[in-house]
Amino acid sequence: MPTLSPAGIFREHEVHRCEILVIGSGPGGSVTAWTLASQGKDVLLLEEGPHLPLSSCVPFSIDEMRQKYRSGGMNPALGKPTIPFVEACCAGGGSEINSGMYHRTPEEVLDVWRTQFQVQYLEMEDLLPHFEACESALCVQLDPGKPPGAATKMRTGADKMGWKSREIPKWFKYQKGAIRQRKVSRPTPVNDRNSNSACYGARMPIHDSGACRATPTEK
């Protein structure tokens, strides 16, 4: 495993040298840094926010906003219509705070990118190995538990309207029978669809996944 070097908090006037500097440790930066480091490059991944474990707060809580969101999630939204905007400011970036919803890029979108923007190699068959690698590294899967109430309502509504609906896969890790630990954070409990026994899902943050295991280490 390559070491993304160096680690810890930089102090003012400290000088660090590297071949490639990647700024921001979200999915974009982490995967870039990991890929380059895997190729033997001397990479420095710079992150402005704190490096916190998933267990540092309850997922989707006020604490999480305080700890991991830029400006505690209090970004001003101006204009008409007003669009609330939030982003992460922590190691792992948005992968630490998002809902882990996952889609393969739809055929029709690839088609536009290929024809309108002349991007090559965007056939589904070109991308399939990449989709599969991401899905495996991030444990993308359907929720093995009972769907939450809101999802059930949406499905009932869609069925009544004659609309197509389907569950969105997530990059979540589910643990059957794990101890309920909402207060201390990680898993979001759901009920097992088949047996009614507890089944817990936790986000797969990018720096914990096989796609990019970037842990701060002293040089």
Ligand X SMILES: Cc1cc2nc3c(=O)[nH]c(=O)nc-3n(C[C@H](O)[C@H](O)[C@H](O)COP(=O)(O)OP(=O)(O)OC[C@H]3O[C@@H](n4cnc5c(N)ncnc54)[C@H](O)[C@@H]3O)c2cc1C
Rounded least distance, CB 151 to ligand X, Å: 14
Cβ proximity to ligand X, 23 vs 128, nearer residue:
23
CB-wise, 100 or 201, nearer to ligand X? 100
Rounded least distance, CB 60 to ligand X, Å: 9
Minimum gap (Å) between residue 196 Cβ and ligand X: 27
Residue closer to ligand X by CB (options 55, 75) is 75
Q: Which is nearer to ligand X, 102 or 198 (CB)?
A: 102
Q: Between residues 93 and 145, which has the closer beta carbon with respect to ligand X? A: 93
Shortest distance in whole angstroms from residue 25 CB to ligand X: 5
Interacting residues with ligand X (CB under 6 A) = 23-29, 46-49, 86-90, 93-95, 97-101
Q: What is the 3-state secondary structure (H, E, C) of the chain?
A: CCCCCCCCCCCCCCCCCCCEEEECCCHHHHHHHHHHHHCCCCEEEECCCCCCCHHHCCCCCHHHHHHHEHHHHCCCCCCCCCCCCCCECCCCHHHHCCCCECCCCCHHHHHHHHHHCCCCCCCHHHHHHHHHHHHHHCCEECCCECCCHHHHHHHHHHHHHCCCCCCCCEEEEEEECCCCCCCCCCCEEEEECCCCCEEEEEECCHHHCCCCCCCCCCC
* Closer residue to ligand X, CB minimum distance, 29 or 145: 29
Q: Are 169 and 140 in contact (CB under 8 A)?
A: yes
- Least distance in Å: CB of 204 to ligand X? 12
- Report d(CA 213, CA 209) in Å as an integer: 6
Residue 189 Cβ, how far from ligand X at the closest point, in Å? 19
CA distance 185 to 179: 11
